Amino acid sequence: MIGPAWSLSWKLGLTNQLVVIGLLLSLMNECTGILAATFFLIVETRRKTPTLQNYEAIIKKSVFLDKADVRWRASFLLLTLLPLVLSVAYKKLIGGSSTMEIQSQFPRYYGLVPLPLGTLNVMNNSIYYMINASVPYMVASSSARSTPRFPAVYGFNTILLDNTSTALLDLPSPDFLSSIQQNLTIGESWSISAAVDGTIARYNASISSYRDNDAFWTSALNHSYNPTGLSTISLYNGYQIGMINGLQSLHSENPGPYCLMGFFKGNAYGLHIYSKMTESTSLAFRQAAYMFEIQRERCQGKWTVTRGSIQLVSGSCTGERAEQVVFNSTTPYYADTLPLLSQWLSRYSPTNSHSQSPWLVPSLTTSVASMFWARIIYMNPTNNVYPEMYYPPTEEIIRSTRLTLQANWGLYLTLSIHPILCTMMLLSICFCYQTPVGTGFGLISVLASIRRDSLDQLRGAGLSGTLTKTVPMKIVVQDSRSHPRIRYSLGDSLETKGQLDIKETYF
């Protein structure tokens, strides 16, 4: 019921756990109170000088009874405070969690889909998708001085695989994620892990060997798309960003899209397109460009879904190529991407202090991967064009985590105090079974067997119930062959106490 890996703990949840544990503590407190009364009576009986006031205090469980021994008062006070302390103690342990693997019957798929954001999804354009996927990475890279341990995850589907590679993973279907979030309560989450495909951008360092290769750049220009040629945008600091996107890899073993991007000196303001590699702008771009190759690969992802967020918590890619057909006619459109890239990447331009930052190449690969990923989704909003974009779950594991009590030593101690006390008192009661006190001991017991000649000790207490002095009371076992009896004697009696014989019936 309380262990983090127990299914009952998950099924109960925090609210029902509080109810059940509160009920258990109440029942255990009642048991402790019943045993404590008998145990205290036995202890008082076995004392050298038991008193009537102490017996009365034990029966009434009173802290304030006049002439009662201070030790009994302290015991009753502790028994009164114990349930209050335990009630507070277990409620202070809120903050734990229980996790259970579950099976969802909701029809779903995985693929190249945007994150569900309610009414914001009407903004069906690649700029919005690119920003939405890239902002967590932008925030992290803007403040960190060194690159993280790889692979590093950002947002809902971005993985920085290493210094030169970035992946944007496919996601579970939006309606599936929305249905999960609608049914989650505060503090509850789902963990979803699955084998998925990813859109990967990798930096190809061999570009340095092609700076002066006219055939290479002519081929790059001829295979470019959206637009055909070199597209540029001014950073308004004496530099520009240039970009060439194409559908067929240049001098690569793995055919697929490519992207050439870099900073170079230039004074042309706004957006421009250059169709000849012999122009001065094109020549300047050639000396500064980075080359990136884009492909679809097999990956693994793990997400945490809460009521208000969807977060990628871990991921990796195998390098195994997946279906590449989704890249057909889906290179990023320069008028969409260059304005965003100029804002995102301007901090890495040669005039900026971050131009030598270790985040330069990772930021370039992340921007390339995100703009290709966003463009594919925008160009194919349904699976009518490329069914390969959508596929059923593979190696999927879903775990549900609910807010529960912390299953630590504090909770176990809270639940074990009553059983420990009850066990100790029960063993003591059994060990002292010959003590002449029964579970029904009370006023009737005393009146039934009181020695009449000792009642003068109670004179003056008929109405108030208060005695002016402490009155000793002894419980005496009178052995008789015919009728063994229990007698109660008030005052300083010379009678011995005696012990019970379990084979006899006492009157």
Same domain (yes/no): 385, 413: no
CA distance 441 to 60: 12
Q: 34-79: per-residue pLDDT in tens?
A: 898 888 888 887 777 777 778 778 888 888 777 778 888 888 899 9
Question: Could you tell me if residue 46 is inside a domain?
Answer: yes
Tell me how far apart the 2 most distant CA atoms of the chain are, in Å. Answer: 131
Comparing CA positions, the residue from 506, 479, 482, 481 lying closest to residue 495 is 479
For 89-148, the pLDDT digits (tens) are 999 998 888 999 999 888 889 999 988 765 455 456 788 899 999 999 999 998 767 778
The answer to whether residue 495 is domain-embedded is: no
Mean pLDDT, residues 452-478 taken together: 65
Do 88 and 198 share a domain, yes or no?
no
Whether 237 is covered by a domain: the verdict is yes
Q: Compute the distance between CA of residue 276 and CA of residue 446 in angstroms, rounded to an integer.
A: 117
Question: Given this model, what pLDDT does residue 131 score?
Answer: 92
Burial of 42 (0-12, 13-18, 19+ CB in 10 A): buried
- Residue 154 and residue 54 in one domain: no
Which has the higher per-residue pLDDT, 450 or 47?
47
Q: What is the pLDDT of residues 168-219, one digit of tens each?
A: 999 999 999 999 999 998 889 999 999 999 999 999 999 999 998 988 898 8
Q: What is the DSSP string of 141-163?
A: HHH-SS--SSSEEETTTEEEEET
Containing domain of residue 235, as a range? 101-404
161 & 87 share domain: no
Identify whether 169 is part of a domain: yes
Same domain? For 375 and 412 the reply is: no
Neighbour tally for 444: CB within 10 Å: 9
Query: How open is the CA angle 221-379-324, to the nearest 5 degrees?
Result: 65
Our count of domains for the chain comes to: 2
142 and 42 in a single domain? The answer is: no
On whether both 81 and 116 belong to a single domain, the answer is no
Q: How far is C-alpha 193 from the chain's CA centre?
A: 16
β-pairing, 310-321 vs 290-305, is: antiparallel
Q: Taking residues 442-465, what's their average pLDDT?
A: 62
Percent of the chain past pLDDT 70, that is, above it, reads 82
DSSP E strands, 248-309: 258-265, 271-274, 290-305
134/374 Cα distance (integer angstroms) = 10
506 part of a folded domain? no
Question: So what's the pLDDT on residue 268?
Answer: 87
315-335 in b/e form (b: 16+ CB < 10 A) is: bbbeeeebebebbeebbbbbe
For position 220, what pLDDT does the model report? 87
Q: Is residue 497 part of a domain?
A: no
Residue matched to tokens 């939405």: 132
Confidence of residue 18 (pLDDT cuts 50, 70, 90): very high
> Could you tell me if residue 478 is inside a domain?
yes
* 32 and 136, same domain (yes or no): no
Last residue of a domain, one of 377, 404, 431: 404
Q: How many residues does the chain have?
A: 507
CB atoms near residue 82 (< 10 Å)? 17
Pick from 404, 432, 454: which residue ends a domain? Answer: 404
Residue among 297, 358, 311, 371 at smallest CA distance from 153? 311
**Cα separation, 244 vs 258, whole angstroms:** 8
SS3 (DSSP) at 137: helix
Give the tokens for residue 468: 């002016």
The one-character DSSP state at 450 is B
Residues near 481 by Cβ (< 8 Å), separated by ≥ 6?
none
User: 43-70 b/e with 16+ CB inside 10 Å = b?
Assistant: bbbeeeebbbbbbbbbbebebebebbbe
Domain end among 345, 373, 404: 404
Specify whether 391 is located in the same domain as 438: no
**Residues 270 and 377 both lie in one domain:** yes
Tell me the H-state helices in 346-480.
Answer: 360-379, 409-431, 443-449
**Residues 239-251: what's their mean pLDDT?**
84
pLDDT at residue 503, rounded to an integer = 46
41 with 24, same domain: the answer is yes
208 Rama sector, left if φ>0, alpha if ψ -120 to 50, beta otherwise: alpha
Sign of torsion over alpha carbons 139, 334, 326, 178:
positive
Residues 244 and 175 in one domain: yes
Domain contains 339: yes
Please report the pLDDT score of residue 461 as a whole number. 60
Q: How confident is the model at residue 267 (pLDDT cuts 50, 70, 90)?
A: confident
What pTM value is reported for the model?
0.77
pLDDT score of 506 = 46
Amino acid in position 73: R
- 3-state class of 194 per DSSP? strand
Q: Which residues contact residue 256 at a Cβ distance below 8 angstroms, ignoring those fewer than 6 apart?
A: 247, 248, 249, 293, 294, 295, 324, 327
